[in-house]
Chains A and B, each alone.
Chain A
Amino acid sequence: MSEIFGIPTQALFGQLLIGLINGSFYALLSLGLAVIFGLLNIINFAHGAQYMMGAFCAWFLLKKLGLSYWWALVLGPIIVGATGVVIERFMLSKLYKLDHLYGFLLTFGLALVIQGLFRHEFGSTGLPYAIPKSLEGGQNLGFMFLPNYRAWVIAASLTVCLGTWFMIEKTKLGSYLRAATENRELVQAFGINVPRMITLTYGFGVALGAFAGVMAAPIYSVSPLMGGDLIIVVFAVVVIGGMGSIMGSIVTGFVLGILEGLTKVFYPEASNIVIFVVMAIVLMIKPAGLFGTQR
């Protein structure tokens, strides 16, 4: 068996693939953050909590209403996105005139409140959520056993990420968004209801987070803490990719997932800090992030 740095190549392939799976979540979450940051200029610290809400939504739909995973995949983002719309409309929108710090403080506070409420209600161990029947089992790829569900995660995440990228870069709706990112007032003077657009954009960004949450439900425990653990890493991904850069957040998400996967083979103890090390290095060399432009 051939080896690279003392690790069998087969095992290495497996780890690369696993990195890609984790990267799928990073990409989805950082994409949502990037979309929100682009238009609202707000770092949405509630993103982790909203991701967690997506997972709980899936659990709740199954447990209380008997709706399957596939329903949850559609309804979860819509429901959680709607709560995002409410948050923007009645809270965030009041803060645009103030320093961005206030938007951060609000979303951070919301994250703590939401997380606290769920923890109070559901405890911290987590609730079980089964993989949908049609995605059970897996494929033996020779170098590893790839669970079908994980393969689905990669495919779905790539589709949603690229779909979002296409929508923003290539459609009329996206041109509103890009224009409003550059000059919100002027776009408004062209007869476009920008406040509504901002509301819906926030809702959409939140829905992306919730989508990731529904996808995570069968893999990780559905637990109030699941978002808090992940979100710090995702912030690092966004910073590395460049705040507000759509493609940057997608590419960085996947690449860092892989990088983290490899670290787990070569030096597992460092696997939870490797992304932050990369962040520190990138910030030293290119303060605006890999794909970012200085504002």
Chain B
Amino acid sequence: MAEQPLLAIEALNAYYGRAQALEDVNVEITGGSTSVIGRNGMGKTTLCNAIVGLPPARITGSIRDQGKELVGLASYKVAKLGIGYVPQGRRLFPSLSVDEHLRMVASRGGAKRWTVDRAYELFPRLQERKRNGGAQLSGGEQQMLAIGRILRTGATLLLLDEPTEGLAPVIVQQIGSTIRKLKDEGLTILLVEQNLRFAQTVADRHYVLESGRVIDMIPSAELDANMQKVHEYLGV
């Protein structure tokens, strides 16, 4: 593992007009799998958007990918650095077929490592539905496609925003095992979740986000010991 963190978020602030959505957020990702947990409206999606350079919040502070500053960079350039975004709600394109989703975003590295066939191998369900449009898939299939699509870009750091939202428990398990498999392949995962039980099965460390601030960081191993505190944070 490199000395330098893969992704270093320092003193990050985000504003919508005058309202502050993130305040002095510091997160360090050094490989493996990290989660950011928090309730709805705590700034999780704002954080994701800030990392990949999407509007609409105004950002100050620093996000560095192996030393390279991301704040202010156009989002397509961020993507080229190997940061792949699986947005909340999957956001597939209704007018594109499954196959087209997988083919459109291919980049040099990604296309070699994650061929379309390999994506289908990972998600056999998708192969069966390859001609279907993005809007005709079930929630689980949509999530698979959203992940498969981002692998094809050659991303080495996956940013997953609430991947389990609205999915049946069986599917959630399946997604969890997929993410672990990707982690084993050497991908770095940043998971943003409110489902602690799921995050626990996937991530090594957990940052807790509340009202736009990181209020704690708990390694997975210590999670059980701190369960009381975490439940308070999440208001469970």
Contact = CB atoms under 8 A, between A and B. Distances in A.
Contacts of B103: 172, 175
A191 B107 CA distance: 8
Contacts of A182: 93-95
A179 interface: yes
B113 interface: no
Interface residues of A, number: 18
Interface string A191-219: 11111000000000000000000000000
A179 B93 contact: yes
A185 B54 contact: yes
Contacts of A267: none
Q: Is the interface of A mostly helix, strand, loop or mixed?
A: helix
A13 to B, nearest CB: 38
A172 B75 CA distance: 21
A89 interface: no
B5 interface: no
Contacts of A190: 76, 79, 84-85, 104-105, 149-150, 153
B80 interface: yes
A42 B85 CA distance: 28
A134 B96 CA distance: 43
Size bin of chain B's contact surface: 20 to 34
B52 interface: yes
A201 to B, nearest CB: 15
A186 interface: yes
B79 A175 contact: no
A172 to B, nearest CB: 6
Given A175-B96, A179-B96, A183-B91, A189 B76 contact: yes
A189 B150 CA distance: 10
B235 interface: no
Nearest to A176: B104
Interface string A162-186: 0000000000100110110111011
Nearest to B99: A175
Contacts of B85: 186, 189-190
A206 to B, nearest CB: 24
Given A175-B103, A195-B74, A189 B52 contact: yes
A9 interface: no
Contacts of B76: 188-194
Nearest to A191: B79
B93 A178 contact: yes
Interface string B74-116: 1110111000110100010111100010011101000000000
Contacts of A179: 93, 95-96, 104
Contacts of B94: 182
Contacts of B55: 185
B104 A175 contact: yes
A191 B80 contact: yes
A41 to B, nearest CB: 16
A183 B149 CA distance: 15
Interface in B36-74: 52-55, 74
Interface of A: 172, 175-176, 178-179, 181-183, 185-186, 188-195
Given A182-B94, A186-B91, A194-B76, 15 more contacts: A172-B104, A175-B96, A182-B93, A183-B93, A185-B75, A188-B54, A189-B54, A190-B104, A190-B105, A190-B150, A190-B153, A191-B80, A192-B79, A193-B76, A195-B74
- Which 5 A-B pairs have CB atoms at the shortest separation, nearest pair first? A191-B79, A190-B105, A175-B104, A175-B100, A179-B93
Interface of B: 52-55, 74-76, 78-80, 84-85, 87, 91, 93-96, 100, 103-105, 107, 149-150, 153
